[in-house]
A = this chain, B = another copy of it.
Amino acid sequence: MTTNRKIVLKKSPEGVPTEEDFELLDDEISTPDTNQFLSKTIHLSLDPYIRGVITGRHIYSEKVNVGDTIVGRTVSEIIESNHPDYQKGEIVLTSNGWQEYGISDGDGVRKLTGHQGRLSTALGIMGMPGLTAYAGLMVYGEPKEGDILVVSAASGPVGCMVGQIAQIHGAKAIGIAGSEEKCNAVKNVFGFEDCINYKTENIDHRIRELCPNGVDIYFDNVGGETLDIMTKNLAFNARIVLCGFMTQYNLSTPPPGPNLGPIVGARATIRGVVVYDHYDKQDEFISKASQWLQDGKIQYMEDEVVGIEKTPAQFCKLMRGKNFGKTIVTM
């Protein structure tokens, strides 16, 4: 334990990132100042929004420049503390980013005391993706008994939670995902009613078949053509929850969106969910989700690799849509 291995941005990616855009460096381990602690990363979360941070398009994070360590949420163990509120040995949710050790002043840190299930789930279904799903669905989607919900990127940590939480509330969940394997998991692991493979099936035809009366809630993680098709398959008073734009994170300029005429016809409402607005629901969410997890009502899948050096390849795989479950690097 004398070096801190970290991954920095080597050059700004064009389109889909490649491993050559990143570089593994050895650095010294920093020493915490007063009111700081040093923690060792256990699990690192890889998320599509990081692509936007690298481009400088993510409005809530400072841009990652060439030479900077890439950012990211981590589950970490405190190994040295000069902060009165944090003790050595405590496990925390923090933001060490793509490195083995990190310094924090406690800002945005959450202790994982009493955490249910595997620690890594604090980065996935029990963490920010889980809260995104919960808040977006409950606040804007308003699922009711008998509603039909469609969610894209259904095998991911947000998508799988959206469908499972909707079903707990009496809605029927239909997923959209990008491979047979993902669709099988959406149906068999997460218990969705059905799942459409957008790579081999015609979404429009399948949705008309599965939801002849239209879709009550469309939870969108992808944007693009799928969003366009879904706007044309809405039930009266439908809700579209805009959550992610996976189809455009790798593009340099945002493409046009769906024609909004059908929104008027269906009297639909479009709302965007940003998880930062909903931290007031975090305790409620964690308490409910812990119970659901314990009762076997929610399942999860992780796409995990071990070793910080595998982070760039794992991130590039995520950005090509080749991940399968919540993407984690365990150090």
The interface of chain A, by Cβ under 8 A from chain B, is: 59, 223, 227-228, 242-243, 245, 248, 254-261, 263-274, 277
A248 to B129, CA, bound (A): 38
A274 to B263, CA, bound (A): 11
Instruction: Tell me if A245 and B274 are in contact (CB < 8 A).
Output: no
Instruction: Tell me if B256 and A264 are in contact (CB < 8 A).
Output: no
A228 to B259, CA, bound (A): 11
Name A's interface SS: loop
Which residues on the B side are within 8 Å of A227 (C-beta)? 260
Instruction: Tell me if A274 and B270 are in contact (CB < 8 A).
Output: no
Instruction: Tell me if B254 and A259 are in contact (CB < 8 A).
Output: yes
CB nearest neighbor in B for A253: B259
Which residues on the B side are within 8 Å of A259 (C-beta)? 223, 248, 254-257
Q: Which of A223, A228, A261, A263 has the most CB of B within 10 A?
A: A261
A277 to B268, CA, bound (A): 13
CB nearest neighbor in B for A255: B259
**Top 9 closest pairs, chain A to chain B, by CB:** A264-B272, A256-B256, A270-B270, A254-B259, A257-B259, A257-B260, A257-B257, A263-B272, A242-B264
CB nearest neighbor in B for A59: B265
**CB proximity of A131 to chain B, nearest CB, Å:** 16
A227 to B260, CA, bound (A): 10
